[in-house]
Amino acid sequence: MNFSTSPVLVLTLPVWRSRFLVLIFLAGFAVLAGRAVYLQGLRNEFLQAEGESRYGRVLPINANRGRITDRRGEALAISTPVKSIWVIPEETQLRPEQLSRLAALLELAPQEIRRRIDGASRDFVYIKRQIPPELADRVAEMRIPGLFQVREYRRYYPGGEVMAHVLGFTGAEDVGQEGVELAFQGHLAGKSGSRRVIRDRLGQIVEDVEGIRAAQEGKDLQLALDARIQNLAFSQLKSAIAEHHAKAGGIVVIDAATGELLALANHPTYNPNNRTRLTGAQLRNRAFTDTFEPGSTLKPFTVAAALEAGRMTPRTPIQTSPGSLTIGKATIRDAHASGVLTVEQVIQKSSNVGAARIALSLPAESMWNMFRAVGFGAVPGLGFPGEASGRVRPHQSWRPIEQATMSYGHGISVSLVQLARAYSVFAREGELVPLSLTRIDAPPVSQRVLSADTARAVRHMLELAVQSGGTAPRAQIMGYRVAGKTGTAHKQENGGYAARKYVSSFVGFAPASNPRLVVAVMIDEPSNGQYYGGAVAAPVFARVMEGALRIAGVAPDAPMKPIELPPESEVAKESI
C-alpha cells in the first residue's frame, strides 16, 4: 500500500501547524527546565523552607527560673521539671479508644479534648499544661500522630501558706503573678532559647540539627526573710486570730539595724502550690496593701513633734480632767479620768485628752511634717506589688478637731509595714532607714528624722507603757526590756465608725537598751469579748519577739525572772 497516495492517510493539515505544536512543546520544556534551574540552583530558599516545614521545627528551650532562698540559704521557691502536652490540630487523628485513654490519663473529659482540638484557631494548641514527667511518658507511649510534649518548669513552694504573701506565685507561663515572684520577675526569669530539630512522619524528633539561641538561666534571689522567724510569726498570728474569733490579721518583723524584712505574715492566707479555690480575701497581702486608722500607736509621734519643737519636756504637766475635751460639737474622752498627767504618763496611760492637748499646742504643720518624715502618706518603696501609701491630708485643711483626733490616730490611715518602719525611728536614735526585701551586707544609708535625745525620751515612755500602770504589761518578755505602744480603734464603716468593730494593734521593739528587732501586730475585728490592743495584740508581740530574739542570738538585757502580770483590773485601758 502506498501511504502517500492513500486518500485516508494523506495529511490534510498544513505542515506549519505541526511544526508550531512542536515549538510550543519545546518552549514549555524550556520554561520548566529554566524554572527548575532557577529554583534549585539560584534561589532554593523557598523549596528548602517548604521541605523543612514538613520535617523540621524550631522548638523553644525554657530557661530555668532562679531559686528564692531565705537569708540562711533555705530554699523557699524552686522550679521542678514538668511537661506540657500539645497538638497540631490538622495532623492529629484520634481514634475513639485513643481519645478515651488520653482523657483518662489527663483527667479531662473526652469532649473537652475534642473541643480544644476542633476549635483551635492556631497551628498548635495545649491539651494540658505542667503534668508530671512520668505521666507524660505514659501519654507518649500511645504514639498519637500530631501529639507532642514540651519540657517546662513548675514552681514549688516548700513553705506553703506560711510564705505565701511574701513569695506570691507564678502562672502557667512561669511568669510572676504576685509577691516577690512578680516584684523580681526580671531577675528571676532568665531568657528562653530555641533549637532546630528534624522529626519523622509520626512527629517524633529524630535529630537535633542545631541550637539557635542558648537559654539564659534565671538568677537566684536571697531574701532578708528568716524562715524560722517567719514560721514563728505565722503560727502565733494564726493562733491569735482563732482565739479571738477575728476576721483577719497581719504581723511584720524588721531588723532595726538594717531595715531588712525578717518576717511578714497575714491571715487568711492560701497555699501557692494549690490555688484551685483561691479567693480575693486570701490573696490580699494586708500588711502591704490594707490601710487602717492606727489609733493610739500614733501618739508617740505627736509627742515626738512636741519635744522636737521645744514646746514640752517629758515632765511637762498636762491637765486631762475631767477626762473629756469638747472642741466645737465633738467631745474627746478618756477611758478613765486621770487629772494632771505628765507627757510621759500620757503615753503610758494612753490618754486621748492628753494627746489632743499636746497636739493643739503645736502648729498643724509641725505634726504634718513629723508624720511625713517617718513615712506616713508615702509608699514604703520596696517595689512590692500593691504597696499602699496610706492617707495624710494636707495640714492646711485641718480643723482643730481633726488635728486633735489625728494626735491619737484617727483621721489618718497607714499600712502595717509603714507603722513598723516608723517605729524604727525610736529604736535607731532618731534615724530612718529604707526597708529591704533582700538580704543586705553593707550598712544602709539612713536619714535623720529626730534628735537622738527625743528618740531616747520617747523610747523611755514606750518602756513605761508595757510596765505596770501602762496599757500593755502583757507585752513584757522575760530577760529583755521591751518598749512599745498599744492601739485600739473603731473601724470605719459607711462613712462613720462601727460601734462594735475594732482594729487592735501593738508595735514595739527590744531589747530597749539597744533595740535590734521591731515587731508590729494588727488584729482585725476581734470578737471574742476582748478588743483592746493590750489584751489582743500585745501577747502576740511578746511571743514572737521572745522567739525571734533567741533565734537571732540577741543577748538579754534584763534579769531572767518570770514576768508577774498585774491583775486585769489594774491594767490601764487605753482610750478609744
Give me the active site residues, please.
296
Q: At what angle do helices 416-427 and 452-465 cross, to 10 degrees?
A: 110
Strands (E) across 303-433 are located at 317-319, 324-327, 330-333, 340-342, 431-432
Helix (H, G, I), strand (E, B) or coil at 210: strand
Q: And the C-alpha cell for 483?
A: 518598749
- Phi then psi for residue 502, to 5 deg, are -130, 160
Is-contact 28 181, C-beta < 8 A? no
Is-contact 509 427, C-beta < 8 A? yes
Is-contact 148 203, C-beta < 8 A? yes
- Exposure b/e, 65-97, CB count within 10 A at least 16 = b: bbbbbbbeeeebbbbeebbbbbbbbebbebeee
* Separation of alpha carbons 131 and 84, rounded Å: 6
CB atoms within 10 A of CB 33: 10
Taking CA atoms, 80 is separated from 63, 176, 321, in Å, by: 12, 16, 67
Measured at the CA of 282, the angle between CA 276 and CA 283, to 5 degrees, comes to 85
